[in-house]
Amino acid sequence: MRVRSVLAGFAVAATLALAACGGSNGSNTGSGAPASATSITGDVSVFAAASLTESFTQIGKDFEAAHPGVSVKFNFAGSSALATQINQGAPADVFASAAPKNMKDVTDAGNADGTPTTFVKNQLVIAVPKGNPKHITGLADLVKPGVKVALCAAQVPCGAAANTALSAAGVKLTPVTLEQDVKQALAKVKLGEVDAALVYRTDAKAAASDVDGVEFPESAKAINEYPIVVLKGAPNRAGAQAFVAYVLSAAGKSVLSAAGFQAP
Amino acid sequence: MLDAHLVVERDRFRLDLQLRIDSGEVVALLGPNGAGKTTALRALAGLQPLSAGYIRLNGQTLADPDRRLWTPTERRSIGVVFQDYLLFPHLSALENVAFGPRSHGLPRRDARARAAGWLSRVGLAEQARARPRQLSGGQAQRVALARALAVDPALLLLDEPLAALDARTRLDTRAQLHRHLAEHPGATLLVTHDPLDALVLAERLVIIEDGCVVQEGDAATITAQPRTDYVARLVGLNLYRGRASEHTVHIGPGFTLTVADAATGEVFVAFPPAAVALHTHRPDGSPRNTWPAVVTGIQRHGDNVRVQLAGPDGIAAAADVTPAAAGALRLDPGQQVWAAVKATETRTYPA
Amino acid sequence: MRRPASGRAPAALLLPATLGLAFLVLPLLGLVVRAPWATLPRRLVEPGVLTALRLSLQTASLATLLCLALGVPLAWLLARVQFPGRRLVRALVTVPLVLPPVVGGVALLLVFGRRGLLGAWLSNTFGVTLPFTTPGVVVAEAFVAMPFLVIAVEGALRGADARYEEAAATLGAGRWTSFRRVTLPLVAPGVAAGAVLCWARALGEFGATITFAGNFPGRTQTMPLAVYLALEQDLDAAIVLSLVLLAVSVTILASLRDKWIAAP
């Protein structure tokens, strides 16, 4: 089962990426029309951090149900890759980043319409295989002999957060690998190749059937804020504004908090 | 000594060949294309499995499908000269010849010394370092022969060894090959479709057609008394089969020959094309064998002209006439002529 | 390489050929144009660059040796031995070509991972684990690159005259001797071409490597991984790394091409 779910995950990711690349949002909406819940139509293209995959997919469905005739297309990927794509001119309506830094790349390039809003916070947990076979209770346990740890690479937000937390705890850790993104780090735990990985609480929660999330106090020092913004070149500006509003609404917040995110 | 009964069955072809070759004897396997010559050679070499029969070489059974016996090629004491030689292109002449001795376990140095010896025996000491593509056709043939002989094979197999050479080289190479085959102490089988190669190189000829032996014997017997059209053509004779009673042989309903040798029963009648005279009108006088025929083809044949004839009952014959005679007769295809053969020019032997 | 004196290339071929060349070369040109030439020397001597480059060259070369040792006999089997299911085997050999490398990496984990089919046994019996190690990189690269070698060598073997092997057999050579002394030298150009392709593919390998061997500088971080992670933060750094990888590989390939597979 584990095998299948991991493979299926890759397949889904690939499909979404293709759908996003195929980009459907043309000029099918009147850009001059006022942004009202009743008048929006067409596709809303949302570029969102990979850690938002499960919750945003749900929010997208709810949003489509609330606005018949609207279709939300997601492009889930690493925040920095998304920022690069947006700055290279990818046609997107909304950008939801897993880190302020990547959002700053977009706003600095003048591609944001207005000021980004922080809509959730996420913090790290120690993901361990189900049942916690190595009895890991905190960061200090990660340096015990025979414990293999995967971290995200320092270049990606979860890696930067992990380094902050580890130095706050005074733990000098040599991981066996520095993964390219949080899902890869989690996959290594799921496959049993490592004994622990520092991942976001939401990721651990989404994989709750295979991994347990161990909370640790130092994670408070490395809280990650998620900003969201409507993009300047948004082909469907009205739709984009409605979607952002929906994410910030009570309905959106309840989906996000169910996924393990904290309110900002 | 080789004692073999080769049976190979493939889709629509069956080879069934009894073959005995004494040590030191050279036998030519002669036959038209598709007769099964190469199949027989490959079966002896172990490159083609037998369907039935056996192969015994110097008392050792190499193959016997009924007893599930099979010796792979590399463990047979054989040497093969392939039609296109198959010299290894990446090895020098010396290394090509040394390949066999080395594969038989000789140390590199000894194998090379042996190869050098063989190369000088075939007159190619100078070419030892040459790659095959730098050798002329005749030289390549000699390297191939040296390579095959360098392992002292109990059975030497040659597949059309001279076919790839031009006429002049062929003459020289044939003479040299003759000498080397005569010196070879093992049995030799020469596969060829060239009667001259067979007659010069071999002591005994085995002629096969459609996978079966049609005639076997020494050169003199076969050239004098061919038993199939193919053999007759090979040795350049007109050949007919018929029923003899005394000096008359009935070949077809409308075709009877009078012969010099009295015989009874099924016989062959053979006579050379040169014995056939052509006339525009039915000749009178001494020749008792005359028949009307139509000219079907005219070619140069040495100093003469060979005329192909179609006689009664579609019976074909070849006639050799001088160019002067051909001119006088004003021969053209389709022309009606009379053919005549003296009884004394014919040979008759039991079928 | 000489053109026949009368040969003028027809436009119907010349035009698409030129377009094809442009299509292949323009992205390269993009990298060169966009490269931060001013800071290039400083960036080149950064320790991480040379470490990743050395690791890439080492692992690609080792992977090629591994592919030669296993792939040439496999190609021989496919080209020379009749056995039931040969077509299926030939199709299976090409699977790594169509499999997304990331999936290949997961598949490798499922076999050679700590809990994998063979990996568990290797780990328990010999204490050997491949994931997150340099040998793991070699395995991942070999898995992805081997089909290139097998296909090239099998093609060469099919093109080679099998009767030379028969000739070798009549001279007393067993199949192994015949393979070693006749077949292999005859197909040497094909083997060399296959090895070069294989090496190039191994050098550029990313997906299977990062999935199976992870990413750790000096141990498993090859150039493509370094490029990918540099992209997360610093486009210029990524371009520099890409150019280094390109320059080194093109130099090596060009020199090998002249030496090994020069036109006869």
CATH number for the domain harbouring residue C94: 1.10.3720.10
* pLDDT at residue number C257: 67
Among all chains, which residue has been given the structure tokens 């006749």? C182
The residue segments making up the domain with residue C138 are 59-219
The answer, yes or no, to whether residue A27 has pLDDT greater than 50, is no
Q: Is C18 on the interface with B (CB under 8 A)?
A: no
Q: Are the Cβ atoms of C233 and A80 closer than 8 angstroms?
A: yes
Do the strands A42-49 and A70-77 form a parallel or antiparallel pair, or are they unpaired?
parallel
* pLDDT at residue number B122: 93
pLDDT top residue among B171 and A10: B171
CATH superfamily of A124-222: Osmoprotection protein (prox); domain 2 (3.40.190.120)
Mean pLDDT, residues B38-48 taken together: 95
The answer, yes or no, to whether residue A13 has pLDDT greater than 70, is no
- Tokens matching residue C155: 């093609």
pLDDT top residue among A8 and A83: A83
DSSP3 helix / strand / coil % (chain B, rounded to 5): 30, 40, 30
**For the segment A78-132, what is each residue's pLDDT rounded down to a tens digit?**
888 899 899 988 889 999 998 898 899 999 999 999 899 999 999 899 999 999 9
DSSP3 helix / strand / coil % (chain A, rounded to 5): 45, 25, 35
Fold of A2-29+37-121+225-258: D-Maltodextrin-Binding Protein; domain 2 (3.40.190)
Q: Where are the domains of chain B?
A: 2-231, 236-350
Among all chains, which residue has been given the structure tokens 């005639």? B215
Residue C242 included in any domain: no
Residue C16 included in any domain: no
Q: Where are the domains of chain A?
A: 2-29+37-121+225-258, 124-222
The answer, yes or no, to whether residue A252 has pLDDT greater than 90, is yes
* pLDDT at residue number A37: 46
Q: How far apart are the first and last CA of chain C?
A: 10
The CA distance from B227 to A236, in Å, is 98
Q: Give bridge partners of residue A147 from the DSSP assignment.
A: none
Per residue in B183-211, is it b (16+ CB within 10 Å) or e — as a string? ebebbbbbbbbbbebbbebbbbbbbbbeb
To the nearest whole angstrom, how far is the Cα of C67 from the nearest Cα of chain B?
Answer: 25
CATH superfamily of B2-231: P-loop containing nucleotide triphosphate hydrolases (3.40.50.300)
To the nearest whole angstrom, how far is the Cα of B19 from the nearest Cα of chain C?
Answer: 20
Which of A6, A78, A80 has the CB atom closest to C106's CB atom? A6
Q: Is A156 on the interface with C (CB under 8 A)?
A: yes
Which residues in chain B are contacts of C172 at CB distance < 8 A?
74-75, 100, 103-104, 151
- Confirm if A50 and C232 have CB atoms less than 8 A apart: no
Q: How many domains does the structure of chain C reveal? A: 1
Residue B242, φ and ψ in degrees, nearest 5: -165, -175
- The architecture CATH gives domain B236-350: Beta Barrel (2.40)
* pLDDT at residue number B285: 67
- Which of A17-21, B146-150, B234-238 has the least mean pLDDT? A17-21
Average model confidence (pLDDT) across chain B: 91
The answer, yes or no, to whether residue B21 has pLDDT greater than 90, is yes
- Confirm if B58 and B20 have CB atoms less than 8 A apart: no
Mean pLDDT, residues A68-79 taken together: 90
The CA distance from B181 to A241, in Å, is 99
Count of alpha carbons within 13 angstroms of residue B288, beta-carbon side = 12
Amino acid of residue B76 = R
Among all chains, which residue has been given the structure tokens 């909370």? A215
* pLDDT at residue number C259: 62
Q: Are the Cβ atoms of A193 and C131 closer than 8 angstroms?
A: yes
Q: What is the pTM of this model?
A: 0.75
**For the segment C78-132, what is each residue's pLDDT rounded down to a tens digit?**
998 889 999 999 999 999 999 999 999 999 999 999 888 998 898 888 888 899 9
The CA distance from A198 to A189, in Å, is 10
* Burial class, A203, CB count within 10 angstroms (exposed 0-12 / middle 13-18 / buried 19+): buried
Mean pLDDT, residues A181-203 taken together: 91
Confidence tier at B283 by pLDDT (50, 70, 90): confident
- Confirm if A218 and A126 have CB atoms less than 8 A apart: no
Run of H or E including B181: helix B167-183
**For the segment A133-156, what is each residue's pLDDT rounded down to a tens digit?**
999 999 999 999 989 999 999 888
- What would the DSSP string read from start to end of C164-232? HHHHHHHTT--HHHHIIIIIHHHTHHHHHHHHHHHHHHHHT--HHHHHHT---TTTT--HHHHHHHHHH
- Compute chain B's Rg from CA coordinates: 24
Q: Is C109 on the interface with A (CB under 8 A)?
A: yes
To the nearest whole angstrom, how far is the Cα of B85 from the nearest Cα of chain C?
Answer: 9
Residue C122 included in any domain: yes
Q: Which of residues 203-222 of C touch A (CB under 8 A)?
A: 210-211, 213-217, 220-221
Q: Are the Cβ atoms of B79 and C166 closer than 8 angstroms?
A: no
* pLDDT at residue number A158: 85
Which residues in chain A are contacts of C213 at CB distance < 8 A?
177
Q: Is B90 on the interface with C (CB under 8 A)?
A: yes
* pLDDT at residue number C45: 81
Those residues whose C-beta lies under 8 Å from the C-beta of residue B81, and which sit 6 or more positions away, are: B141, B144, B145, B148, B156, B157, B158, B159, B161
Confidence tier at C258 by pLDDT (50, 70, 90): low
Q: Are the Cβ atoms of B90 and C161 closer than 8 angstroms?
A: no
Residue C68 included in any domain: yes
Residue C160 included in any domain: yes
The answer, yes or no, to whether residue B284 has pLDDT greater than 80, is no
- Confirm if B174 and B159 have CB atoms less than 8 A apart: no
Mean pLDDT, residues A249-259 taken together: 93
Helix (H, G, I), strand (E, B) or coil at B253: coil
Q: Which of residues 107-166 of C touch B (CB under 8 A)?
A: 161, 163-164, 166
**For the segment C38-79, what is each residue's pLDDT rounded down to a tens digit?**
888 888 888 788 899 999 999 999 999 999 999 999 999 999
Residue B303, φ and ψ in degrees, nearest 5: -85, -10
